[in-house]
């Protein structure tokens, strides 16, 4: 594939990734608002589930904003990057995004279950065997490796 086709593929890939982000944010936020309401009705306003639901919203939105900044940076510097490596990087970032969404979705499900069974103090966040964009600088540092040699 020539460079023009690869650049178009990269830009289309980023466009597709950006399309899914608002939907993911909407799903997480709606679930967290539901948790906040249910936990405050069930346990009152001063409970960890209520606070955690608000933390989840903030963390997930921050991750999506960081991802958007990465996309902007890649688009601005695309002429300086090895295009094959950039596609691989975006695939890895997409996979990380999927893992992050599934993690937060699972945490929300755990909280909903605790509310359902009225177990106020039993919810701890599940173990996460990966680092999100907030947890590590790996994906930022890796951007430098995309430069053409």
Per-residue model confidence as pLDDT tens digits over 54-111: 999 999 999 999 999 999 999 999 999 999 999 999 999 999 999 999 999 999 999 9
Would 149 be classed as within a structural domain? no
Q: What is the pLDDT of residue 73?
A: 94
Number of domains in the chain: 1
Contacts 24+ apart (CB under 8 A), 22-25: 24/60, 24/64, 24/97, 24/101, 25/60, 25/61, 25/64
Residue 1 above 70 pLDDT? no
CA distance 79 to 148: 9
CA distance 139 to 99: 15
Q: What is the pLDDT of residue 122?
A: 67
Range of the domain at 20: 3-144
Would 113 be classed as within a structural domain? yes
Helical spans, DSSP H, in the chain: 3-43, 48-76, 83-116, 138-144
9-45 pLDDT per residue, tens? 999 999 999 998 888 889 999 999 999 998 888 888 7
Would 60 be classed as within a structural domain? yes
Percent of the chain exceeding pLDDT 90 equals 60
Whole-model pTM: value is 0.88
Q: What is the pLDDT of residue 49?
A: 86
Residue 147 dihedral angles phi and psi, to the nearest 5°? -60, 145
Would 71 be classed as within a structural domain? yes
Distance of CA 135 to the CA centre of its chain: 11
């Amino acid at each position: 594939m020539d460079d023009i086709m690869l650049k178009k593929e990269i830009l289309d890939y980023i466009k597709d990734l950006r399309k899914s982000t608002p939907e993911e944010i909407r799903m997480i936020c709606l679930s967290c608002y539901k948790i906040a309401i249910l936990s405050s009705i069930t346990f009152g306003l001063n409970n960890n589930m209520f606070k955690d639901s608000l933390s989840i919203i903030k963390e997930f939105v921050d991750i999506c904003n960081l991802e958007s900044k990465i996309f902007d940076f890649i688009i601005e510097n695309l002429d300086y990057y090895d295009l094959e490596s950039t596609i691989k990087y975006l695939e890895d970032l997409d996979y990380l995004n999927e893992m992050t969404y599934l993690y937060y979705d699972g945490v929300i499900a755990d909280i909903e279950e605790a509310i359902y069974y009225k177990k106020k103090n039993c919810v701890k966040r599940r173990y996460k065997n990966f680092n999100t964009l907030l947890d590590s600088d790996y994906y930022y540092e890796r951007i430098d490796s995309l430069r053409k040699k």
